[in-house]
Structure 1
Amino acid sequence: MSFPALQQYLSRLHDAPQADSTLWLDQQGRAHGRYFNSTLTSAFQPIRTPETGSIVGVQGFMRSYSRNDTGLSIWKLLDTGATDEQSVELDRLCRLLHAVNFYRQPEMADYDLYLSVHARLLAAVDSNHGMSFRRVLDVLGLPHKKIVLQLPLIQPDQAWLMNYVADNYRRNGFRLAVNAADARQGLDLLEQVQPDVIKVDVREITDEAATLDLLCVAGEKNVKLVFKRVESSQIYDKLRKLGAQAQQTILAQGYLWDQPKASFAQDASEPEAIATAGQES
């Protein structure tokens, strides 16, 4: 799938002088950005159905530039020194960079693209935050319906704020994912926010009964449940057993299968090898 407006934009970036540009392309066509004199770029990590190895989505991560995709998280480097206004600017730059780097690769265009909304953005943005990103995508001719905006963990007293932001993004045509601290909060968020996706950190799965309930209720409501930070076959075996008990397909994301990197097109064509990785001890 090609995107003519995006290709025209990439051509302009390619011709722009790096020293005078906020965004530019390297020799491989990868987009980079500048913020606080740091060079930023995108890395992507797949969300998979481990039993088959198939990819159902991809999450974008902002990294400081490195040749081997092992740059540092830019939020950890800059967040404590940035004002709310600067955080909004950085968040918008991150999402633009991810969209450009993702959709410049035609083989990735069929996947959902998960883009994180930083916690500081929830309180700092005005009422038009969803519209601003929608306009950028429209100008570039990119499919907003394939983008899932991922809201951060919240405290119970911030529920109103998450609902406010979620409503704004929905009205602008985006799907929503929410991060849950554990399975019980996931059950609460299913009712409070009614998201399209819930993501749960596998390191917080201590209540198997609640996890089974979450799997079942999410399945009934046609909400995707993604277990993130899967880093060992032992954790994956636990998830697989829970999925079998709930008779639900497990979706997972983590270093057991994928390191975040600029492109994973070759991995996508080798589902058998990916599925096998989750079964090795």
Structure 2
Amino acid sequence: MSFPILQKYLARLSDGVASSIWLDQEGKAQGRFFNCTMTSAFQPIRQLDGNRVVAYEGLARSVSAQDQGLSLWKLLDHAASDDESIELDRLCRMLHAINFFRQAEAAAADLYLNVHDRLLSAVSSNHGHAFRRILDALELPLARVVLQLPAATPQQGWLLNYVSDNYRRNGFRFAVNVNSPRAALAVLDRLRPDVFKLDVRDLREEDGVSALLQRCAAAGVAVVFRRLETPPQLAALRELHAAAGGALLVQGYLLDAPHALLRQPAQRAA
């Protein structure tokens, strides 16, 4: 392991030091919220051209012996108050960071972490500061963490401005989920994100997608098409890539299911 402070922290957890996070017999970090025990699963983000894994998205899952735990976020978040939702989000980020960087396969990949919509307005002070302190304390690489902001309505534009500026000031890169290529173009210059994430089903707006890819290529902004689930969707992305050029990133169950263990590209190649 290349992170000695994290290794010492994991050793303390394995020794039974009292904490809201602990290790199971396989060394995976687990946490508890509302009497639900949770851990991390990671879904790869791949280059469309070459299929290389460049990042993983961390996802909260219930603990399962078969590594097929259920997604817990919506269930727990709906039951939580604003303060409890902040606590849940921070617990998930901590779990994902530990479970990601403890694995040797993480050496060449980034970690994408969700910022859920309730946190945009629930956090009253410096967004990202608390999580940065955790990463700094464990000496984990801030530059390899990408925070994913949720899609926002036009009325929430000022909120995205405020939150994204805070994350940037704290040294984080950030991605913005958008509902359409037009929505992405509308905020590209204003937010200056590092990444856009679009649902692959938005390929119906082919003109808008081509324009977005060209603008993002010129600005150095990555584009990830998520929810890739069918061969026709993959074929459409390949056609778009051939026509528009630029690097496309893809994520979805057609290529990879989320797993607790990171996989080498050759093991998970579609």
**Structure 1: distance between partners of 2:39 and 2:46:** 23
Q: Aligned runs of 1:169-208 on 2, under 5 Å? A: 169-208=167-206
Query: Which of 42, 45, 48 is the equivalent residue of 1:44?
Result: 42
Quote the offset at 1:124 in angstroms: 0.3
Counterpart-to-counterpart distance in 2, 1:68 and 1:209: 43
In the alignment, the residues of structure 1 paired with residue 13 and residue 193 of structure 2 have an alpha-carbon distance, to the nearest angstrom, of 36
Instruction: Report what 1:58 is aligned to.
Output: 56
Q: Is the counterpart of residue 268 in structure 1 residue 265 in structure 2?
A: yes
Distance 1:64 1:215 in 2: 36
Q: Which runs of 5+ in 2 are unaligned?
A: none
Contact 1:116/1:151 (8 A) holds in 2: yes
Contact 2:143 2:173 in 1 (8 A): yes
Tell me whether 1:8 sits opposite 2:5 in the alignment.
no
SS in 2 for 1:195: coil
Distance in 1 between the 2:218 and 2:66 partners? 42
Aligned amino acid, residue 161 of structure 1: L
For structure 1, which runs of at least 5 residues remain unmatched after alignment?
A: none
RMSD: 1.3
2:48, 2:247 within 8 Å by CA — same for their partners in 1? no
Letter of the aligned partner of 1:171 in structure 2? R
**2:107 and 2:95 mapped to 1: Cα distance?**
15
TM-score (norm. length: structure 1): 0.93
TM-score for the superposition, normalised by structure 2: 0.97
**Aligned counterpart, 2:133:** 135
Q: Is the 8 A contact 1:240 1:250 kept in 2?
A: no
Separation in structure 2 between the aligned mates of residue 129 and residue 208 of structure 1, nearest angstrom: 35
Residue 91 in structure 1 maps to residue 59 in structure 2? no
Name the stretch that deviates more: 136-145 or 71-80.
Answer: 71-80
The answer to whether the 8 A contact 2:175-2:197 is kept is yes
1:202–1:235 contact (8 Å) kept in structure 2 = yes
Quick one: distance in 2 between partners of 1:163 and 1:127? 14
1:251 is aligned with what amino acid?
Answer: L
Question: Which amino acid in structure 1 is aligned with residue 5 of structure 2?
Answer: A
The one-letter amino acid of 2:265's match is A
CA contact (8 A) 1:48 1:54 kept: yes
Partner Cα distance (2:29, 2:45) in 1: 23
User: Equivalents in 2 of 1:21, 1:139: separation in Å?
Assistant: 16
Equivalent of residue 220 in structure 2, options 202, 219, 222 = 222
The aligned amino acid for 1:233 is: P
Superposed CA offset, 1:36-66 (max 9, x none): 0000100000100133120111100011111
CA-CA distance at 1:203 after TM superposition: 1.7
1:205 counterpart SS class: helix
2:157 to 156, 159, 163: 159
| Counterparts of 1:173 and 1:44, CA distance in 2 | 23
Match of residue 253 from structure 1: 251
Deviation at 1:268, TM superposition (A): 2.1
Question: More displaced, 246-255 or 172-181?
Answer: 246-255
Q: 1:119 aligns with which of 117, 120, 125?
A: 117
Runs of 4+ in structure 1 off by over 4 angstroms are none
The alpha carbon displacement at 1:109 in A equals 2.5
Report the alpha carbon displacement of residue 129 of structure 1 after superposing the two structures with TM. 2.9
What CA distance in whole angstroms lies between the structure 2 residues aligned with 1:118 and 1:221?
Answer: 26
CA distance in structure 2 between the aligned counterparts of 1:137 and 1:95, rounded to whole angstroms: 10
Q: 1:174, CA displacement in angstroms?
A: 0.3
Letter of the 1:142 partner, please give it.
Answer: L
Count, aligned residues: 270
Aligned to 1:77: 75
| Identity score, percent | 53
Shift of 1:204: 2.5
- For residue 69 of structure 1, give the secondary structure of its aligned residue in structure 2: coil
Greater mean alpha carbon deviation, residues 156-165 or residues 240-249? 240-249
Q: Please tell me whether the aligned partners of residues 199 and 226 of structure 1 are also in contact (alpha carbons under 8 angstroms).
A: yes
